[in-house]
Amino acid sequence: MVTYLVGTCHIDPKGPVRLKKFLNFVRPTSIGHESSGENAKKIFEDRRKKLGAFLQMNSVADPALKFAIMLGYIDSYELWTPYQHQQEDNPTTIIYPLENHQILEKASDYLQQSENNNKVLSDWETLLHEGLRTRDFKKVQNSVELAYYDSRIVENIQKNLGRTDYLLEDRDVLMEQKIREIVTKDAQGTTVAICGVGHLFGEYHNLYERVRDLSPCRIRLPEVDKF
């Protein structure tokens, strides 16, 4: 039994390439992704439209539209990359959603309300917003790399938003349960659980701490660049 916990940044421009490289390297027998089955279905329906736009991108002249198409293509890569890996490289792997839909919707609603009410941006958020505003993927990538390795960024965002139980802890409880179920079911195989870096490296009793008795290998997605 081998278990990997992979911490991602949801807006990583290099995310799809990095995650595909990792999955091809370890060839897991089971993959768990952060989200619910219902949410994944909705995202895949939307992705078909975004993929069509991405394939036609070379014919688009407007830089702003190209930037938006690229962001749309990257969106939710933690969900669609495992299925792409399954279809193209590893047809026997089994993919599981790790989250409960009701808890996920509760967290999403709270996050949206908090962002609407929070007018003060942190230095990291300012850097990210500047990259998005100027359509500069290099600035966006730089801000993403900071988010992977500076735990204070996640901690400050959590403090600004307030309810870490809604955003992290309630979800961690259920993801822990699901990871344990997958590892038990696939006791002789290799399990990869993919979730936001804050769930694995955040300054609280995080998901990694919850499943530490399983002796998982915890990595940040950029570490794949060294493979």
Rg (CA), the chain: 17
Cβ-contact 86, 19 below 8 angstroms? no
Reply yes or no on whether the pLDDT at 89 is more than 90. yes
Residue 3: partners with Cβ closer than 8 Å, 6 or more residues away: 179, 183, 190, 191, 192, 193, 211, 214, 215, 216, 217
- Among 12-26, 36-50, 113-127, 135-149, the range scoring the smallest mean pLDDT is 113-127
Query: Residue 217 pLDDT > 90, yes or no?
Result: yes
Cα 214 from Cα 227, distance rounded (Å): 24
- Least-confidence region, from 40-49, 85-94, 128-137: 40-49
Task: Report the alpha-carbon angle 181-185-191, nearest 5.
Answer: 80
pLDDT at 86 > cutoff 80: yes
Q: End-to-end CA distance of the chain: give it in Å, rounded.
A: 21
Report d(CA 129, CA 63) in Å as an integer. Answer: 17
- Tally Cβ neighbours within 10 Å of residue 147: 24
Per DSSP, helices labelled H in the chain are 15-26, 37-55, 63-74, 77-88, 101-117, 123-133, 137-149, 151-161, 164, 170-185, 197-201, 207-210
Amino acid at the residue 208: Y
Specify the pTM. Answer: 0.84
The answer to whether residues 151 and 201 touch, using CB atoms and an 8 Å cutoff, is yes
Beta bridge partners of 4: 192, 217
Stretch 115-129: mean pLDDT? 66
Give mean pLDDT, residues 138-149.
89
Lowest mean pLDDT, pick from 17-21, 99-103, 182-186? 99-103
At residue 210, the pLDDT reads: 97
Taking residues 7-19, report their average pLDDT: 94
